């Protein structure tokens, strides 16, 4: 399987942002995720995997 960058983003604070959507009839494996704080102040993040058609909910979050 080829390795590639699936997405990069610098979203606004408190904004849910879709970084990558797996195409229909395909699958994706994420082997690493990097989070960087590019500001001089403390920041928080959340990472979630949401099934197609589902509204984001607590059970979808992998990391805070």
Residue 2, pLDDT score: 72
Residue 14, pLDDT score: 82
Residue 55, pLDDT score: 93
Residue 4, pLDDT score: 85
Q: Closest Cα to residue 20, out of 4, 2, 38? A: 4
pLDDT, block means (10 residues), the chain with 64 residues: 83 86 90 89 90 92 90
Residue 25, pLDDT score: 93
């Amino acid at each position: 399987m080829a390795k590639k960058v699936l997405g990069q983003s610098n979203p606004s604070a408190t904004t849910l942002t879709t970084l990558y959507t797996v195409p229909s009839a395909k699958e994706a494996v994420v082997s690493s995720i990097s989070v960087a704080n590019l500001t001089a102040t403390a920041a928080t993040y959340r990472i979630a995997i949401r099934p197609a058609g589902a509204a984001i909910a607590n059970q979808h979050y992998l990391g805070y």
